[in-house]
Amino acid sequence: MTSFKLATWNVNSVRIRLDLLKKLIAFSGADVLCLQEVKAKEEDFPFDEIRNLGYPHIALYGMAGYNGVAILSKHPLQNICKADWVGKTDARHIRASIFDDIEINNIYIPAGGDVPDPVVNLSFAHKLCFMDDMSEYYEQRKNELKNKKILFCGDFNVAPSENDVWNHKQLLKIVSHTPIETGRLQRLFQSLDFIDVVRKFHQEPEKLYSWWSYRNPNWQTNNKGRRLDHIWVTPALEDRLLSVQLVKEARSWERPSDHIPVIAEIKL
């Protein structure tokens, strides 16, 4: 084995979309699957079904009804840790080590509601504080971690650049692309000098999206998307990056998630 594939996907309920998970596995052959919004607590998670799909190693931070993140792996996971931010135990971050030296962080940043004002919208305040809390943590440990092989992936709920949204000017006041959010995400990005894996292979000004709203039945025709799903790596992994893929066809699958999977191949 000279490389491995990692897929990140906001599955929007793992139990509802178990058949689509099987489809993604057949399509991608991913060695590691990082899922967000699994929407299942420990006792409801389909452990047996997923193990039967060839993923015996499962790290889960679940909760009932919403949120929840999971790492599914064909290979052993070590040092599994559930991380919490802003004092909330809301199942948004789980990390584990694989192949001894690569730390995978599966992260689901809060969506932030509809009003981009932290004073009147506590969900938006939570989103900003979540990113601040993470950034401060990694900034303080930069010297310790700067040479480590660390991967961040997940639904970050922020489209950082003007080419990550269908219309930059129209979305500047829309949650997920406001300057205050993109600034906070940039701070997190700079905390360990991350590399944006998707943009390494698909450079600006190429338009790229990973999410299309359920509210838009003509999503393919209108193509009003946003790139909310990301894979980042620290510089120690940059030379190992082989490819990246956004699986747009997944948005057309029966009963799809509104997010599509993003897949990176990394050399061992």
- Tens digit of pLDDT for each residue in 23-80? 999 999 999 999 999 999 999 999 999 999 999 999 999 998 889 999 999 999 999 9
pLDDT at 84: 98
- In this structure, which long-range contacts are made by residues 205-208, counting pairs with CB atoms below 8 Å and at least 24 apart in sequence? 205/163, 206/163, 207/163, 207/164, 207/166, 208/163, 208/164, 208/246
Which pTM was predicted?
0.98
Across 44-60, b (16+ Cβ under 10 Å) vs e yields ebbbeebeebebebbbb
Report how many domains make up the chain. Answer: 1
- Stretch 197-209: mean pLDDT: 98
188 confidence band (pLDDT: 50, 70, 90): very high
Domain range holding 169? 3-267
Q: What percent of the chain has pLDDT over 70?
A: 100
Q: CB 5: neighbour CB atoms within 10 A?
A: 18
pLDDT at 52: 97
Going by the DSSP 8-state scheme, the letter that residue 17 receives in this structure is: T
Residue 241, domain CATH: 3.60.10.10
